[in-house]
Structure 1
Amino acid sequence: MTPEQLRDLVRTAVAAVVERGTLAVAVPDDVLVERPKNPEHGDYATNVALRLAKPAGMPPRAVADLLAEELRAQPGVARVDVAGPGFLNVTLAQGALGQIAVRAVTAGEGYGRTDTLAGQRLNLEFVSANPTGPVTLGSTRWAAVGDALARLLESSGAEVSREYYVNDAGAQIERFALSLQAVALGRPVPGDGYQGDYVGEVAARVVADEPGLLERPEDEQVARFAERGVAAMVADIRSTLEDFGVRYDTFFSERTLHESGALEKAVATLREQGHVFEADGAVWLRTTVFGDDKDRVLVKADGEPTYFAADCAYYLDKRTRGFDRVVIMLGADHSGYVGRYKALVAAAGDDPGTHLEILIGQLVNLVRDGEPVRMSKRRGDFVLLTDLVDAVGTDAARYALARASVDQTIDIDADLWSRRTNDNPVFYVHYAHARISSVLRNAADLGLALGDPGDVDAGLLTHERENDLLRAIGEFPRVVTSAAELRAPHRVARYLEELAGTYHRFYDACRVLPRGDEEATPLTTARLWLCAATAVVLRNGLGVLGVSAPERM
């Protein structure tokens, strides 16, 4: 019996007591079922009686007694104890717990997937670094976490569109074009321009693709360097991210908002809502009425639209494309952006709590020997995504970035994450999967197979370490669901490390394969199913993080 099945059983027990008239409450849509910290308290515990006591007008223990009596009569339940103020501690019948392994193996890639977010259509925008340079370490964190979050949300039933917003309009693009032109002509790069070897590389590509460019008038040169230079950088960014395992559904050009009239349409829409006004020759959005610290300019006195106007148009474009919720991932330096964006959503007539979600992430550093690494060959004052991958590998980089909460600044120790030892978290999880793969290969060499699910005697899995592992496997769907709802991929990583440790302890305590002339027994088969179930969960969990599951190490 899995935790999900037990939750349904508890809800059924509540419904039965309500139907008999001994409890006057609404049957909850969901109940909390979790593993108790002390295994002596049973396989699972629930606080449902505490939740229902107040609406029922009864003491929590009285409610718990009613539900315990109902649960004790259910198949698969061996014992139900009322503890403390009204907790229910449930011990499953022999064999009911073992069925978790059977269910995990038979579900395969589908184990852990739920429909809790079904019907939600989300636009997830992440990274969106300016197309004026390569992908840096700071953006790499969002690449790993954003892609993992998208996978999590999809595993919970949501429809997710991954989007990269290309800031290819504005002053930074002109500075980039002037930098490319200067390098191509052998001039010094402007003081506010872009430095680094990559500028020369991009400039050379533009000149090679467009012979005779440097003989044209300078304003034409700048325009072509802008268009071709941005296209080259976007191609490099896309390729770098794809090599990192991150693929987008949409690369959205800011420039198209200016060229299509979307900005003017957005201003008109906001004006219709009654929140646009004019002052000092400029056009403003009255965001202060929605909690912003000041009103925001949409169109400057010289007629130029602001970045904020583009933000308004971009948000409205996403909503027009049918997304129920716009999720945006931003770095710590954009925390001041949240208030104004919520205000524009409200000014557009939407509910910021429903239609918008902004996640703020903290900084990340690459360190070696306790010192920050400054190793980029293309520019000396920042570290690139490719530098991180070169230092620790793609799997370790993605895992390291995803295993910490985004609201924490993290240091990635290049020495630790490149080490092939158990103190390297990703190696520890990888080794567990490889170890299981080896067991299953050895079993096949001995002519042993899992066989039909109906033939396995899961009730033989009674050892303490077996039960620990079964309960851990059973937690996986809940971990995925909660990680998706909380936007916290790091919960999956930490769970995988705990699962790996639980498997290693099981393996050390419980012999799986027969030795010498020993005959295989039904317990052998049951333990092979348990190993296979653990491998399924490790693969699925690593897959959520975009990390491979090696079969050999």
Structure 2
Amino acid sequence: MTPADLSRTVLRAVRRAVDEGALRAPVPARVRVERTRPGGSGDYACAVALQLAGPAALPALEVAAVLRERVAAEPGVGRVEITGPGFLSFTLDAPAAGDRAVLDAVRDQGLAYGHGDALREEILQFHHACEVRAAVTAHAVRRLVVAQGARVRVSCAEASDPDWARLGVTVDAHGTPPVPLTGIRPVPAGATAGELLERLGPDAARWGLLRPAGHDRAALGPELLVQGEANPLFRVRYAHARARALTRGAALLGFTAGHDPDGEGPFPYDGAARPLLDLIADHPGVLLAGARHRAPDRVARQLEAVAHAFFDFHDSCPPLPAGDEKPSAAHRARLALAEAAGTVLAGGLSLLGIRAPEHL
């Protein structure tokens, strides 16, 4: 069971409790579950009982008890506990099955892993100034919210700079809107699109504009072109290229990815593999948060974290055999995780409008 699956499971429990008359409260549009913090209980935690206590006119502990009874019976949930003033803590059953579900979801959905329909009811209109960072940010936000099911229209205060097209930016309308629209207002870049394209090229320029939070100044210097691990963009793209190289190397050795290690290898994944798998499992939630908060920088930081965890995993648990070593089930399981990481990196870069080369 993935975090997204657990969120839907809890939401179904809330809806069932309301339908059965055990709770009298509006059903929320979504339920947020978070990985349990160090020292906490279980794998994930949720504050939905505290959220519903007021509308239900019941103590949060009583609401939590109603929901625990319904969630605990769901497949994949091993144990549900009530902690503190009414938090629900979930321990998932069969960790290996949950890990498989994450990797299967990435394999089946490909670059669309993490896309969803949480915003399907929203029709959005964004408006931005005639400035390159605002234009690129609005374009990236458009991609994020569309990936979550929303319909979007983007307008610019003035006629677009022709060079924006070379950065992948499109604008639906120009001029002052007749009604106030949601504004995209990051700190201006202090440069034109043409200048950035000449110095950095489209990919580095977009990363430099999108990586900082909107209220921070964008660093747009030559460090964005450095081919080294000190450059986060290079590190993210290199991790993707390395993951793809592992697949090619495995093919030459006559094996493919798989996560059925028959008792051998790192499954359920642990050690250096666990942080990477956890980040991959959390990726859909990060994409949704980036869309809801109009914050493509969250996606960029997620990709940096995945790349960092990928290299830690790669160095500690090599997916390819060394020397005369023969490919084992452990290598197949490791390769499955490496391929999933590469897919997440490529998909995230695509949402930011940045290419993910297979060779660097």
TM-score calculated relative to the size of structure 1? 0.58
Name the counterpart of 1:363.
188
State the SS of the aligned residue for 1:96. Answer: helix
Name the counterpart of 2:68.
68
Question: Offset of 1:3 from its aligned partner?
Answer: 1.6
Structure-2 change in CA distance of 1:398 and 1:543 (3 Å): same
Structure-2 change in CA distance of 1:14 and 1:161 (3 Å): closer
Q: Deviations over 1:102-161 (max 9, x none)?
A: 111110122121122225444544454xxxxxxxxxx22123212211211221222334
Name the counterpart of 1:478.
285
Structure-2 change in CA distance of 1:90 and 1:503 (3 Å): farther
**Which amino acid letter does the alignment assign opposite residue 133 of structure 2?**
R
The percentage of aligned residue pairs carrying the same residue is: 36
Distance 2:66 2:118 in 1: 29
State the SS of the aligned residue for 1:34. Answer: strand
- Check the 8 A contact 1:461/1:526 in 2, yes or no: no
Q: Deviations over 1:349-389 (max 9, x none)?
A: xxx5xxx2223232335xxxxxxxxxxxxxxxxx4323323
Name the counterpart of 2:202.
394
Distance 1:417 1:533 in 2: 26
Larger radius of gyration: 1
- Check the 8 A contact 1:101/1:533 in 2, yes or no: yes
Distance 2:116 2:208 in 1: 26
Name the counterpart of 2:59.
59
C-alpha RMSD of the superposition: 2.9
**Which amino acid letter does the alignment assign opposite residue 214 of structure 2?**
V
Residues 1:546 and 2:353 are matched in the alignment: yes
Structure-2 change in CA distance of 1:464 and 1:87 (3 Å): farther
Distance 1:115 1:456 in 2: 34
Distance 1:91 1:249 in 2: 47
Distance 2:81 2:274 in 1: 19
Q: Deviations over 1:313-335 (max 9, x none)?
A: xx35xxxxxxxxxxxxxxxxxxx
Question: Offset of 1:73 from its aligned partner?
Answer: 2.8
Name the counterpart of 2:96.
95
Q: Deviations over 1:52-72 (max 9, x none)?
A: 223334332343344334333
Question: Offset of 1:426 from its aligned partner?
Answer: 1.0
How many aligned residue pairs are there?
356
Question: Offset of 1:417 from its aligned partner?
Answer: 1.8
State the SS of the aligned residue for 1:45. Answer: strand
Name the counterpart of 2:144.
152
State the SS of the aligned residue for 1:467. Answer: helix
- Check the 8 A contact 1:13/1:71 in 2, yes or no: yes
Superposed, 1:107-186 pairs within 5 Å as 107-126=109-128, 128=130, 139-164=131-156, 166=158
Structure-2 change in CA distance of 1:425 and 1:23 (3 Å): same
Distance 1:72 1:118 in 2: 29
Distance 1:532 1:526 in 2: 10
Name the counterpart of 1:279.
none
**Which amino acid letter does the alignment assign opposite residue 505 of structure 1?**
D
Question: Offset of 1:402 from its aligned partner?
Answer: 0.6
State the SS of the aligned residue for 2:294. Answer: coil
Q: Deviations over 1:239-270 (max 9, x none)?
A: x22222224456x5x7xxxxxxxxxxxxxxxx
**Which amino acid letter does the alignment assign opposite residue 242 of structure 1?**
A
Question: Offset of 1:395 from its aligned partner?
Answer: 1.5
Residues 1:525 and 2:332 are matched in the alignment: yes
Distance 1:476 1:80 in 2: 24
- Check the 8 A contact 1:49/1:87 in 2, yes or no: yes
Structure-2 change in CA distance of 1:244 and 1:12 (3 Å): closer
The match for 2:192 among 380, 384, 399 is: 384
- Check the 8 A contact 1:436/1:532 in 2, yes or no: yes
State the SS of the aligned residue for 2:185. Answer: strand
TM-score calculated relative to the size of structure 2? 0.87
Name the counterpart of 1:106.
108
